[in-house]
């Protein structure tokens, strides 16, 4: 029996165009809206906290630079340690520690809900692999979904955090709180929040996605319904 070598075979390619992967990912998010919402919720909370702390620093720096005696006095009374001349106020070590913990909890939460989401979709993944999907198609779909969730979730979170911080200090210190906030710093902080959110979202989905993609189709379909 003559065995055909690989060289004799026609070009064997399976493809999933990027636009199509995005389309599938978006549909998947839409039809699993509630599950997506839960996954995104912890991200929204953590990112809003991050952005809140950041915005607060900008506000305090702004008040300090305003040289408004009454407002600065109010800051002292509330126990803020003010920076030296020309320096910007940064979050205290305690705040940073809480921030770190909240982000950590957020990632663990995402991994947890994504693992559940993935095991819910074992059958779907197995079916896709039977239809010719490569491992990396599966990973890519999950990554795109996570990126979209990250973008939307952290945008909502960042805006919420910024608005809460600005609103809160407006009540506490009056107009001076907002008037001297450096707009440039604010934009950078919000952008950083969104970026961090996407990163955390992708980080959280990585392990579940790899787990799902590496499964043999039979195992995947035999798995939980």
Partner 1 sequence: MRDRENQTANNIVRVSRVVKDFKLSKSVVHVLKGVDLEIKTGEYISIMGPSGSGKTTLFNMIGGLDKPTSGSVFIDEIDISQLDAYELAWLRCRKIGYIFQTFNIIQVMTALENVTLPMIFAGVSDDDAREKGMELLDIVGLKKRFQHKPSELSGGQQQRVAIARALANDPAIILADEPTGNLDLSTGEEIIKLLKLLSREKGVTIISATHDLKMLNVSDRVIWISDGRIEKIEDREELSISLGQIGDKWK
Question: Which residues are near partner 1 by CB under 8 A?
Answer: 1-4, 6, 9, 12-17, 20, 24, 27-28, 31-32, 123-124, 126-135, 137, 216-218, 221
d(CA 63, CA 83): 12
Considering the complex, state which of residue 6 and residue 69 has its C-beta at the smaller distance from partner 1.
6
- Min. distance of Cβ 143 from partner 1 in angstroms? 17
- Min. distance of Cβ 14 from partner 1 in angstroms? 5
Report whether 148 contacts 208 (CB < 8 A).
no
- Min. distance of Cβ 68 from partner 1 in angstroms? 56
Q: SS3 letters for 136-199?
A: HHHHHHHHHHHHHHHHHHHHHHHHHHHHHHHHHHHHHHCCHHHHCCCHHHHHHHHHHHHHHHHH
Please give the DSSP secondary-structure letter assigned to residue 65: H
Distance of CA 218 to the CA centre of its chain: 33
Considering the complex, state which of residue 15 and residue 171 has its C-beta at the smaller distance from partner 1.
15
Give the tokens for residue 56: 């607060």
Considering the complex, state which of residue 46 and residue 133 has its C-beta at the smaller distance from partner 1.
133
Considering the complex, state which of residue 14 and residue 183 has its C-beta at the smaller distance from partner 1.
14
- Min. distance of Cβ 131 from partner 1 in angstroms? 4
């Amino acid at each position: 029996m003559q065995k055909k070598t690989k060289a004799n075979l026609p070009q064997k390619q399976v493809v999933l165009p990027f636009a199509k992967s995005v389309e599938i990912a978006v549909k998947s998010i839409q039809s699993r809206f509630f599950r997506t919402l839960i996954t995104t919720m912890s991200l929204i909370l953590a990112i809003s906290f991050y952005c809140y702390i950041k915005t607060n620093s900008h506000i305090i720096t702004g008040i300090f630079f305003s040289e408004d005696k009454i407002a600065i006095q109010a800051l002292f009374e509330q126990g803020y340690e003010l920076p030296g001349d020309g320096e910007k106020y940064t979050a205290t070590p305690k705040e940073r520690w809480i921030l770190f913990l909240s982000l950590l909890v957020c990632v663990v939460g995402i991994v947890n809900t994504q693992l559940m989401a993935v095991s819910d979709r074992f059958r779907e993944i197995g079916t896709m692999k039977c239809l010719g999907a490569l491992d990396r198609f599966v990973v890519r779909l999950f990554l795109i979904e996570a990126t979209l969730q990250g973008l939307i979730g952290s945008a909502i979170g960042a805006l919420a955090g910024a608005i809460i911080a600005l609103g809160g200090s407006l009540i506490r210190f009056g107009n001076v709180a907002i008037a001297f906030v450096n707009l440039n710093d604010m934009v950078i902080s919000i952008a950083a929040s969104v970026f961090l959110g996407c990163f955390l979202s992708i980080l959280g989905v990585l392990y579940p996605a790899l787990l799902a993609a590496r499964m043999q189709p039979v195992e995947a379909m035999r798995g939980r319904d």
